[in-house]
Structure 1
Amino acid sequence: MTSPAPDPVRETRRKREHERQAVVFGLIIAFLLIVGLAAAAMYTGAFSSPFSRPIYTPVAEAPQPEPCLPQVEGQPDGALPVPYPDVQVRVYNAADGSEPLASANEDVLAERGFDVVDTGNWVEKLGQSEVRFGAKGITRAYTLAAQYPDVRLVLDDRKGSKVDLLVGEQYSPPLSTDRVLLDAETPMKDAEGCMPADEITPIAQVTLPQKKG
């Protein structure tokens, strides 16, 4: 009995299937080899995986806390306001514009009795207005800040007791005298969330040439 003759079409189809399978298995084996080599390289430290790098989220630097009022000798109940003539103030414009903004504040403060010793333009633009001062000028800074509805108290490393008013972009004019919550016989209140001055790292003082004595 003779065997049936092979079907050429079937043989061709089978040959092509074998070729496709060989290609697929070859690709799978090549992929596994690449993965294995990469894993071995990461394990031995030849290169680091991008997934092993820590992800850092930028954190905005917290503003310097405002200092609390100090203990003042002879004032056991708390620091009292400093008489206006004893507060030496320099007034600087830190907003877009020119010096007249500082001069306008000079006029108001001088009319109330503050000793305004200089005015001019600040070295940079600020958003919120600031009162800057050293450790010896904290009570004077609080006395000056009480004249305004919204200023930040910023401690710097100056040695003297002069204070600087920096009039920023978000400028608010001085309060009317009847709204200034100061009384010569009533201790001033600490700024909300304040810290003792000796626990604060002061910023560096910026000194501008003075035009006045």
Structure 2
Amino acid sequence: MTNPGYDQARVERRRREHERQAVVFGVLIAFLAVCGIFALAVYSGAISSPFDRPFTTVGASEQKTYPVACLPTVEGQPDGALPVAYSEIKVRLLNSTQESGLGRAHESVLTDRGFEVIELGNFPDPLTESEVRFGVNGIVQAYELAAQFPKMRLVLDDREGPAVDLVIGEDYDAPLDVKDVDVAADQPLRNAEDCVPADTITPEARVLPATPEQAEDEVQPAG
């Protein structure tokens, strides 16, 4: 025989379950309706999407525009400065990106070509474009190093020695093939387009590597 109290409890339980289901489905339907209205407004242009913004490179700062120093005049070389041997060019490789291993990769190529890499380190500021930084006694060296790449920014700073820094930026280019490098031992180097005499440029303050160890001191030019 069926217990009337038991049947009544079962009916109440089912009623409560139906009420909960109705509430849940009601909330979901309302949420979907709001999403649909928002999507329609974005599609129609009534409001702008919160994701409608340009992509940016995290950590990459805008770089200044620097005047480019012309090659120095050299006594006994009336046609212009001749290259120096790659083995006489001391290079610091500084990575300004979050990508590891770039310094080693550049070192492998440059040392194979005869450059002397004296330090690997990190540049304290993020850069978009790669740069060669140099002093007034390293202009020829900077031109020769920059010639190894499709494009390179040249930045004159206030260092005294001939060693140069290659700062690797986010948009770095791989070195050119050796056959495509426009440097020949018996041919004068060519000035960069729109260059100006070095003595008319106010040098930038030299930026030291963001590493605990500093490279060997720069060798002063002979004579």
1:86 corresponds to which of 85, 88, 93: 88
Shift in alpha-carbon separation, 1:102–1:84, aligned structure 2, 3 A: same
Q: TM-score, normalized by length of structure 1?
A: 0.68
| Equivalent residue letter for 1:65 | P
Contact 1:64–1:200 (8 Å) recurs in 2: no
SS at match of 1:109: helix
The residue number in structure 2 matching 1:143 is 144
Consecutive unaligned residues of structure 2, counting only runs of 5 or more, are: 1-61, 217-223
The residue number in structure 1 matching 2:75 is 73
| Equivalent residue letter for 1:97 | E
Identical positions, percent: 51
| Equivalent residue letter for 2:73 | Q
CA distance, structure 1, for counterparts of residue 63 and residue 87 of structure 2: 37
Shift in alpha-carbon separation, 1:84–1:62, aligned structure 2, 3 A: closer
Question: Cα offset for 1:74?
Answer: 2.2
Contact 1:134–1:159 (8 Å) recurs in 2: yes
SS at match of 2:97: coil
Q: CA RMSD in A?
A: 1.7
CA distance, structure 2, for counterparts of residue 107 and residue 113 of structure 1: 10
Map of 1:86-165 to 2, 5 A cutoff?
86-98=88-100, 100-165=101-166
Q: Deviations over 1:141-180 (max 9, x none)?
A: 0010000111101000001110000010111000000000
Q: Deviations over 1:165-199 (max 9, x none)?
A: 00101110000000001111111111111110000
CA distance, structure 2, for counterparts of residue 132 and residue 200 of structure 1: 14
Shift in alpha-carbon separation, 1:158–1:211, aligned structure 2, 3 A: closer
Q: Deviations over 1:8-61 (max 9, x none)?
A: xxxxxxxxxxxxxxxxxxxxxxxxxxxxxxxxxxxxxxxxxxxxxxxxxxxx99
Q: How many matched pairs?
A: 153
Consecutive unaligned residues of structure 1, counting only runs of 5 or more, are: 1-59
The residue number in structure 1 matching 2:24 is none
| Equivalent residue letter for 1:169 | E
